[in-house]
Amino acid sequence: MKKRLAGRRDSMAMERKKGSFLEKNLHIIFPMPAVIFVVVMMLFPVVYTLFLSFTNWNLTSGMPLSIVFLKSYQKVLQEPRFIAALGRTFSFTALAVAVETILGMIVALILNREFRGKGFTKLIMLLPLVSTPVAIGIVFNLFYDPTIGLANFVLTRFGLPRQAWTGSAATVIPSLAIVDIWQWTPMIALILLSGLASLSSEPYESARVDGATEWQIFWRITLPMITPTLLTALILRTIDALKTFDIIYAMTGGGPGYASETFNVMAFKYSFEYFRMGQASVILVFLFMLVLFMSLLIVRMRKSLEL
């Protein structure tokens, strides 16, 4: 009887001890599976890509890979297509994000009041964000179709000349940017809207007492107070715009010619159409340096703004 009791006490102590081991190391054990997963699935591939960028591996040639150090870099950098894609990535991003920010701000300011149907309006604004980009791209292709598309119908109605939209090198980037703007302006607007809702009303009241105009109130009070939110939304959106792939690949495949080929699309083609893994890796290294730089910017900005 006594023995049994002691045994039980022992096992209880054991259990507590086991529990306390888990408990003491909870901050390591709990995140462990997620960390291992991300390391295996992300960090390892990134390192592997870095390694491949120093090789001339080509999957179709059947030759074993050989280390050529910076030769692949040299080859890619000398490729006019690379510089053009780089410039295009930036111009697409700048155009889309600039318009999205301005429109998003205007929409947020308009919606930032109580009115009937506000919930419904916000619901409508959510829909583009959750839509499948490939499908959206195809719907816009129907709009842009030179012969049956609605876009040209509207233009001709206003007496304007027909456009080739995604069919010509001159208009393809703005045409694609319109799709991005349609899909992501609501996101900036919604983020700003919830930022605006969290602002304190005090400065507004005292400004009104002092007789400030709405315009002054926006520039002197609203804009400075919303800047942290605006910047975070802006950077997140910029990073995503730099990576835009689905709509471009689905709508134009980077064409006509290479006229809408961005970094991401070029990397995709080098990897999965030409199977030039060495050179594709070089493009990828540049792409993630770009994204890493933007990410560090976020961290810095968060620190300096004490978000």
Partner 1 sequence: MRAAVVRKILFFLVILAIVIPVLFPFLWMLTSSFKTQVDIVAWPPRLIFSPTLQNYERVFREQNFLKYFMNSSIIGISAVSLSLFMGLPAAYSIARYKQKRLSMFILIARLMPGISFLMPWYIIFSRLKLMDSYIALILSHMLITLPIIVWIMSSYFESIPVEMEESAMVDGATRQRAFLSVVLPIAGPGIVTSVTLAFIFSWNNFMFSQVLSMERTKTLPIAIYNFVSYAEVDWGAVMAAAVAIMAPAIILTMIFQKYVVKGLTMGAVKG
Q: Closest approach of Cβ 113 to partner 1, in Å?
A: 9
Phi, psi of 193 (to 5 degrees): -60, -45
Closer to partner 1 at the Cβ: 32 or 98? 32
Closer to partner 1 at the Cβ: 172 or 193? 193
Judging by beta carbons within 10 Å of its beta carbon (0-12, 13-18, 19+), is residue 175 exposed, middle or buried? buried
Tokens standing for 183? 């899909």
d(C-alpha 175, C-alpha 167), whole Å: 10
Closer to partner 1 at the Cβ: 142 or 170? 142
Q: Closest approach of Cβ 70 to partner 1, in Å?
A: 19
Closer to partner 1 at the Cβ: 13 or 292? 292
Q: Closest approach of Cβ 1 to partner 1, in Å?
A: 26
Q: Are the CB atoms for 167 and 256 separated by under 8 Å?
A: yes
Note the Cα 275 to chain centre separation in Å.
Answer: 26
Closer to partner 1 at the Cβ: 79 or 145? 145
C-alpha closest to that of 52 among 30, 84, 86, 76? 76
Q: Closest approach of Cβ 2 to partner 1, in Å?
A: 25
C-alpha closest to that of 239 among 70, 90, 33, 36? 90
Q: Closest approach of Cβ 152 to partner 1, in Å?
A: 9
Residue 253 neighbours by CB distance under 10 Å: 14
Closer to partner 1 at the Cβ: 131 or 168? 131
Q: Closest approach of Cβ 98 to partner 1, in Å?
A: 18
Judging by beta carbons within 10 Å of its beta carbon (0-12, 13-18, 19+), is residue 244 exposed, middle or buried? buried
Q: Closest approach of Cβ 64 to partner 1, in Å?
A: 14
d(C-alpha 172, C-alpha 141), whole Å: 11
C-alpha closest to that of 217 among 228, 206, 229? 206
Closer to partner 1 at the Cβ: 153 or 219? 153
